């Protein structure tokens, strides 16, 4: 049996109510009021498609043996590097073995489902046993645009394998059409959008049914055999119209999630699929379709194993864990729509020595420290001599992953003089619960959220951007202060 063996998701904590966009820019584009309902997800200033992919993948890998992963497929149209393997960075951040196959899938909104089909075929053919497929997008738009309202940021991840399958793969059907509803040329920041009527009437409304009907004919089923129909379409009226054309009753159609996060691009097919799996019960049949220069359609049947899946945050947990952004200007700055003066201190270079990064890749990108084999003391960075004053053993250590460890704040500082996109700069000393201390930046929080003794979890984030050297993007790990149980329950 081949299919999905695990899933995980990530929606950034920050949310912008769409009325904030209209209140700031409605004077210029009053028509955007038509889609100003609900809220959209937005990346923090230190997040991007790659950092979200790592977070979704970590969620998917919860309770799984990472040493058994054979490949990592990363799908996105907004990856930070055009000529550096982004999947390879994700693999290093996840501390996976060096013998995995790492592949980037891109250039289409259906890159995520195409990566899934490729992984399913590889596992079914026996070439690979366990493949991690992650789709992610951080799409940029100009200000006061319908797409600024429609889009959101997010990532979804599934594990494809043939053991402990939670959703059995029944088959797929794909079409490929050079149908241009939008495009982005090499070196350009924003998509060029064709007229919405063209996209709706000749794209979504014709191409999605073509693939879905093709799949049902291939498998000899009808919509009566489907329990949940899942497909992205940010035109809400057309989302309903297409499902009706396919013969699906409203109770079978998964909401397009416009009100809670927006359309997350390449990730959205997986984000919606994961949302369906969160609600699914054994025996449910889920039909997934994704439009993008053609369409991929797949059918899955949920198994009893879904009840045994270890608890994870996933999409549902991320949607509940949010922080409202109450001004559009902060959103605009985080997306580089506003040019502000950062001061002379911001002019310091951010050049990374590739030789050092290679030698220290596990320590820097994977946050792998060391654990003394003699006394059991965890420590980061990995030392030559154990830091325990009662031990001092020399070069006798095993790898120790700090990224999955929780800790507490020992000291913290709110620095108004340090360069920060969201001042004040928050940083401090963290004591990990199982041992080890580290000086870290805090993120996804305000000053009032940081307190001595407060719990933290780790997150993979952007550290700096070197615009003077071909857009080098540096990454590291930061600490996220966690709400106490009584606060989280409010």
Domain positions in the chain = 3-334, 344-350+405-488
Query: How would residue 490 be classed by pLDDT, with cut points 50, 70 and 90?
Result: low
Helix axis angle for 49-60 and 86-93, nearest 10°, is: 50
Q: How many CA atoms lie within 13 A of 171 on its CB side?
A: 12
Instruction: Return the sign of the alpha-carbon dihedral for residues 110, 116, 119, 124.
Output: negative
Question: What's the rounded Cα separation, in Å, for the pair 436 and 381?
Answer: 10
The pLDDT score that the predictor gives to residue 119 is 98
CA distances to 5, 101, 108, 309, 387 from 133, in Å:
11, 12, 16, 18, 39
Q: Which of the four pLDDT bands, split at 50, 70 and 90, describes residue 343?
A: confident
Report pLDDT digits (tens) over 248-302: 999 999 999 999 999 999 999 999 999 999 999 999 999 999 999 999 999 999 9
- Where is average pLDDT lowest: 23-37, 250-264, 269-283, 344-358? 344-358
Task: Note the pLDDT of residue 222.
Answer: 98
Overall fold of domain 344-350+405-488: OB fold (Dihydrolipoamide Acetyltransferase, E2P) (2.40.50)
Domains 3-334 and 344-350+405-488 share a fold: no
Please report the pLDDT score of residue 486 as a whole number.
58
SS (H, E, C) 329-379: HHHHHHCCCCCCCCCHHHHCCCCCCHHHHHHCHHHHCCCEEEEECCCCCEE
Query: For 136-173, how does the pLDDT look when each residue is reduced to its tens digit (9 = 90+)?
Result: 999 999 999 999 999 999 999 999 999 999 999 999 99
Question: How far apart (Å, rounded) are the C-alpha atoms in residues 406 and 438?
Answer: 12
Percent of the chain topping pLDDT 70: 97
What value does the mean pLDDT take over residues 16-34?
96
SS3 label, residue 176:
strand
At 189, give phi and psi (nearest 5°): -90, -35
CATH architecture for segment(s) 3-334: 3-Layer(aba) Sandwich (3.40)
**pLDDT confidence tier of residue 100, bands split at 50, 70 and 90:** very high
**pLDDT at residue number 335:** 94
């Amino acid at each position: 049996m081949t299919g999905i063996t695990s899933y995980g998701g990530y929606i950034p904590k920050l949310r912008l109510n769409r009325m904030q966009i209209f209140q700031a820019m409605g004077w210029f584009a009053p028509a955007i009021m038509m889609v100003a309902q609900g809220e959209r997800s937005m990346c923090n200033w230190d997040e991007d498609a790659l950092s979200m992919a790592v977070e979704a993948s970590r969620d998917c890998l919860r309770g799984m043996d990472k040493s058994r992963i054979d490949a990592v497929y990363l799908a996105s149209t907004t990856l930070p590097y055009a000529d550096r393997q982004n999947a390879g960075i994700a693999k290093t951040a996840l501390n996976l073995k060096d013998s995995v196959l790492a592949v980037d899938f891109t250039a289409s909104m259906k890159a995520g489902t195409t990566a899934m089909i490729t992984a399913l075929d590889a596992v079914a053919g026996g070439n690979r046993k366990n493949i991690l497929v992650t789709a992610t997008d951080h799409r940029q738009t100009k200000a006061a645009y319908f797409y600024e309202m429609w889009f959101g940021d997010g990532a979804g991840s599934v594990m494809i394998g043939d053991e402990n399958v939670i959703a059995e793969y029944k088959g797929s059907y794909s079409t490929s059409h050079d149908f241009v509803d939008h495009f982005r040329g090499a070196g350009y920041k924003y998509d060029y959008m064709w007229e919405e009527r063209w996209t709706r009437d000749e794209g979504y409304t014709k191409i999605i049914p073509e693939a879905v009907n093709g799949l049902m004919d291939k498998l000899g089923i009808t919509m009566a055999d489907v329990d949940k129909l899942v497909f992205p379409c940010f035109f809400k009226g057309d989302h309903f119209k297409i499902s009706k054309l396919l013969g699906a009753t409203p109770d079978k159609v998964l909401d397009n999630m416009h009100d809670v996060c927006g359309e997350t691009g390449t990730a959205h097919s997986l984000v919606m699929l994961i949302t369906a799996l969160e609600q699914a019960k054994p025996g449910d049949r889920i039909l997934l379709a994704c439009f993008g220069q053609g369409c991929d359609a797949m059918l899955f049947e949920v198994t009893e194993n879904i009840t045994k899946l270890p608890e994870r945050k996933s999409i549902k947990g991320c949607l509940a864990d949010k922080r409202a952004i109450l001004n559009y200007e902060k959103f605009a700055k985080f997306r580089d729509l506003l040019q502000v003066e950062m001061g002379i201190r911001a002019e310091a270079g951010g050049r990374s020595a590739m030789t050092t990064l290679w030698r220290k890749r596990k320590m820097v990108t994977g946050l792998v420290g060391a654990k003394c084999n003699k006394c059991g003391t965890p420590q980061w960075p990995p030392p030559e001599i154990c830091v325990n004053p009662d031990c001092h053993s020399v070069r006798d250590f095993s790898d120790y992953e700090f990224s999955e460890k929780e800790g507490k704040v020992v000291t913290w500082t709110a620095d108004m003089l340090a360069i920060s996109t969201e001042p004040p700069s928050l940083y401090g000393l963290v004591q990990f619960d199982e041992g080890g201390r580290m000086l870290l930046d805090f993120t996804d929080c305000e000053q009032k959220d940081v307190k001595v003794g407060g719990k933290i979890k780790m997150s993979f984030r952007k550290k700096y951007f070197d615009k003077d050297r071909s857009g080098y993007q540096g990454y590291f790990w930061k600490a996220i202060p966690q709400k106490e149980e009584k606060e989280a329950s409010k």
